[in-house]
């Protein structure tokens, strides 16, 4: 069984769209969003995947979500069938933190016929070996200090080393202030992250905020030799589920 996020109560968040960020930006894909996360970013735009009633970890919106309305459990075969029905040749698995459900994900992905698979992860959980063999791309997004997570939980050196050794792993850092870019550079220099596979992306859930931050982030990316990622889906659809 897989535990998925929902678009509306009882309806799993499985949909077709354009990938909005990272190395595959603009590509038509199928998406599946899983529920549950081991981290708690204060600016998380999918807090409905983890900040359920009774969870008092800080979040800037202070909202909590009723678990039954925001989670649904489905058999792997049903999830695979719904994904295949979307008619796309590429799947993005996101969350939450998808790798918390690695074994069940491996069983689901094995049922997909001819789909290229990419997974979005916070980089703290090692991929299940059976799943790892089926994944073409990882979008690894280690969390910086401004996320509000304890650094020893959000940045695990041995895990970063493992990701660096995977040629299919790209690194995407959410940036809110220029000082965050300095933190990214420190991680590159300390751990040897491949700069050519590092993206910086502005934090924001509306076009105005994203454009404002990109005005200072773009020249910093150019100066530091980093790739810049937009959040295209926010400009197209706003901060909404199932997009």
CB within 8 Å of 59: residues ≥ 6 apart? 40, 42, 44, 47, 51
> Which whole number is the average pLDDT over 135-142?
98
d(CA 77, CA 89): 18
What is the DSSP track for 174-187?
Answer: EESSHHHHHHHHHH
SS3 (DSSP) at 15:
strand
What is the DSSP track for 186-199?
Answer: HHHHHHT--GGGEE
- Sheet of strand 14-18, all strands in order from the earlier edge strand to the far edge: 14-18, 28-33, 90-94, 116-121, 137-140, 169-175, 198-202, 227-228
Place of tokens 């502005």: 202
d(CA 231, CA 243): 12
Span 84-103, pLDDT tens digits: 999 999 999 999 999 999 99
Q: Which residues pair with 198 in a beta bridge?
A: 171
| Dihedral over Cα of 200, 36, 242, 1: its sign | positive
Q: Which residues pair with 173 in a beta bridge?
A: 200
Question: How high is the pLDDT of residue 195?
Answer: 96
Place of tokens 């009723």: 66
Count CA atoms within 13 Å of residue 156 on its CB side.
12
CB within 8 Å of 95: residues ≥ 6 apart? 5, 33, 34, 35, 36, 37, 46, 49, 120, 121
Question: How high is the pLDDT of residue 211?
Answer: 98
> Which whole number is the average pLDDT over 184-205?
97
> Which whole number is the average pLDDT over 199-217?
98
Question: How high is the pLDDT of residue 8?
Answer: 97
Residue 158 carries which DSSP code? H
Span 106-135, pLDDT tens digits: 999 999 999 999 999 999 999 999 999 999
d(CA 74, CA 80): 10
Q: Could you tell me what percent of the chain has a pLDDT over 70?
A: 100
Q: Could you tell me what percent of the chain has a pLDDT over 90?
A: 99
Phi and psi for 100 in degrees, rounded to 5? Answer: -65, -20
For residue 61, give Cα distances in angstroms to 86, 152, 203, 211. Answer: 33, 24, 15, 21
57: closest CA among 40, 79, 32?
40
Quote the mean pLDDT of the chain: 97
Span 10-66, pLDDT tens digits: 999 999 999 999 999 999 999 999 999 999 999 999 999 999 999 989 999 998 999
């Amino acid at each position: 069984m897989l535990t998925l996020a929902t678009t509306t109560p009882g309806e799993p968040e499985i949909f077709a769209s354009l990938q909005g960020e990272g190395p595959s930006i603009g590509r038509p894909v199928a998406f599946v969003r899983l529920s549950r996360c081991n981290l708690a970013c204060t600016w998380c735009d999918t807090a409905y995947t983890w900040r359920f009633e009774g969870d008092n970890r800080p979040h800037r919106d202070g909202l909590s979500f009723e678990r039954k309305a925001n989670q649904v459990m489905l058999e792997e075969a049903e999830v695979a069938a719904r994904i295949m029905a979307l008619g796309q040749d590429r799947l993005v698995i996101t969350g939450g933190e998808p790798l918390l459900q690695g074994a069940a994900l491996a069983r689901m992905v094995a049922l997909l016929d001819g789909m290229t698979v990419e997974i979005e992860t916070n980089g703290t959980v090692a991929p299940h070996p059976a799943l790892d063999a089926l994944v073409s791309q990882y979008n690894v997004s280690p969390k910086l200090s401004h996320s509000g997570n304890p650094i020893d939980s959000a940045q695990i050196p041995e895990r970063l080393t493992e990701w660096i050794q995977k040629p299919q792993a790209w690194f995407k850092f959410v940036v809110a202030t220029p000082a965050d870019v300095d933190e990214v550079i420190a991680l590159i220099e300390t751990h040897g992250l491949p700069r050519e596979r590092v993206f910086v992306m502005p934090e924001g859930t509306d076009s105005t905020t994203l454009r404002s931050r990109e005005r200072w982030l773009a020249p910093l990316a150019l100066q530091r030799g980093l790739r810049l990622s937009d959040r295209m889906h926010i400009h197209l659809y706003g901060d909404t589920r199932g997009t």
